[in-house]
């Protein structure tokens, strides 16, 4: 969907719309740059001047806690001015289209839009019509893509010592409705992960999942056998039409991650979740709150990863400059 729109004529990242279409070098450059930004959050003055004078607009047409807030913190740590556009109080309610809203915000000399939208392809549409100086980052579009989530998940796996070339990763739950799962499968394949699994009931698996680069399992004990990383996904009731799971209790019994099921994974396997999580539905609290869980570190890493993406698309590789200031 994103085609070549993501790169400029010099093959430099211009917009971040999806993981699909990125190469391993670009992904590793983002992860390495993020590593240099982690320390910024640990300083007394948590700021570097990379985006001073730039205006970043958070444009979220769908609810968010983690992505919107970490983008805002990331932009502020890069010294940008940040506008959190209030959709509920905007002229969207009077029937203004997405592109007209964007055109009006662009007329206010803004530089970067972070776009979350219920429709797949929304960020792509905005990027296609954006003037050349404006940059777009997809913060989640329908079921299609959530590229910065995949990047922060990959960052977290590497931070916990997982070697992409050797690990087994299981993604569990509502694969069908999950943009997180799609982006994650893409990034793991690009990074050379040899064994990517999805575990779900048939009703929550898209057809031809193997073509996307993941092996399907329908039984938790089989799918979790020997894995190094477990990524639990939220049951997305708001995207379901009709009953796709028998009952919450039965779903938890079969697919909820418990200490008992975790036993078949590697002893040092980590448990990830992009949030928001449904305790007692896809994950038991005893696992979510255990030291195997990386759920809160994922959120913290999201700041550094989003700083890296913004720095790279706004000004090329600012790795060293960012670390020095």
192 or 276: whose CB is closer to ligand CP?
276
Minimum distance, C-beta of residue 47 to ligand CP, in the bound complex (Å): 23
Minimum distance, C-beta of residue 62 to ligand CP, in the bound complex (Å): 8
d(CA 164, CA 182): 17
Q: Which residue is nearest to ligand CP (CB)?
A: 67
Minimum distance, C-beta of residue 229 to ligand CP, in the bound complex (Å): 17
Site for ligand CP, residues 125 to 154, rule: CB under 6 A: 140, 149
Please give the size of the binding site for ligand CP, defined by CB under 6 A.
Answer: 9
Site for ligand CP, residues 54 to 73, rule: CB under 6 A: 64-67
Minimum distance, C-beta of residue 171 to ligand CP, in the bound complex (Å): 14
Site for ligand CP, residues 304 to 323, rule: CB under 6 A: none
12: contact with ligand CP by CB under 6 A: no
276: contact with ligand CP by CB under 6 A: yes
Nearest residue to 54 via CA among 37, 77, 86, 87: 77
d(CA 47, CA 30): 19
Please say whether the beta carbons of 282 and 232 come within 8 A. yes
275: contact with ligand CP by CB under 6 A: yes
58 or 67: whose CB is closer to ligand CP?
67
Find the part of the chain contacting ligand CP (CB under 6 A) among 155-163, 191-199, 268-276, 288-296: 268-276
41 or 275: whose CB is closer to ligand CP?
275
246: contact with ligand CP by CB under 6 A: no
Minimum distance, C-beta of residue 70 to ligand CP, in the bound complex (Å): 8
240 or 264: whose CB is closer to ligand CP?
240
48 or 230: whose CB is closer to ligand CP?
230
146 or 319: whose CB is closer to ligand CP?
146
What's the maximum distance between 2 C-alpha atoms anywhere in the chain? 56
d(CA 249, CA 133): 51
Binding site for ligand CP (CB under 6 A): 64-67, 140, 149, 274-276
């Amino acid at each position: 969907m994103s085609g070549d729109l993501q790169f400029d004529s010099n093959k430099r990242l211009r917009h971040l719309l999806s993981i699909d279409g990125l190469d391993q070098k670009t992904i590793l450059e983002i992860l390495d740059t993020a590593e240099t930004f982690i320390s910024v959050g640990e300083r007394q003055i948590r700021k570097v001047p990379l985006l001073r004078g730039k205006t970043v607009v958070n444009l979220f047409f769908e609810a968010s806690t983690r992505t919107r807030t970490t983008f805002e913190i990331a932009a502020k740590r890069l010294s940008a001015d940040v506008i959190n556009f209030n959709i509920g109080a905007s002229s969207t309610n009077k029937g203004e289209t997405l592109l007209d809203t964007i055109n009006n915000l662009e007329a206010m000399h803004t530089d970067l839009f972070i776009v979350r939208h219920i429709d797949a392809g929304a960020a792509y549409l905005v990027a296609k019509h954006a003037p050349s100086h404006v940059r777009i980052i997809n913060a989640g579009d329908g079921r299609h893509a959530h590229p910065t989530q995949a990047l922060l998940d990959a960052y977290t796996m590497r931070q916990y010592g997982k070697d992409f070339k050797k690990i087994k990763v299981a993604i569990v739950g509502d694969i069908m409705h999950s943009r997180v799962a799609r982006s994650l499968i893409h990034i793991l394949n690009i990074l050379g992960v040899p064994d990517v699994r999805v575990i779900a009931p048939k009703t929550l698996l898209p057809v031809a999942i193997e073509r996307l680069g993941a092996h399907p399992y329908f039984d938790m004990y089989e799918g979790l056998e020997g894995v190094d990383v477990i990524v639990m996904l939220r049951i997305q009731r708001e995207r379901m039409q009709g009953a796709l799971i028998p009952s919450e209790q039965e779903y938890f019994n079969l697919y909820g991650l418990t200490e008992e099921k975790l036993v078949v994974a590697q002893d040092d396997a980590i448990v990830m979740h992009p949030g928001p999580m449904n305790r007692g539905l896809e994950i038991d609290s005893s696992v979510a709150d255990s030291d195997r869980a990386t759920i809160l570190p994922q959120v913290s890493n999201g700041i550094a990863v989003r700083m890296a993406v913004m720095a790279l698309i706004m000004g090329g590789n600012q790795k060293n400059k960012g670390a020095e200031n």
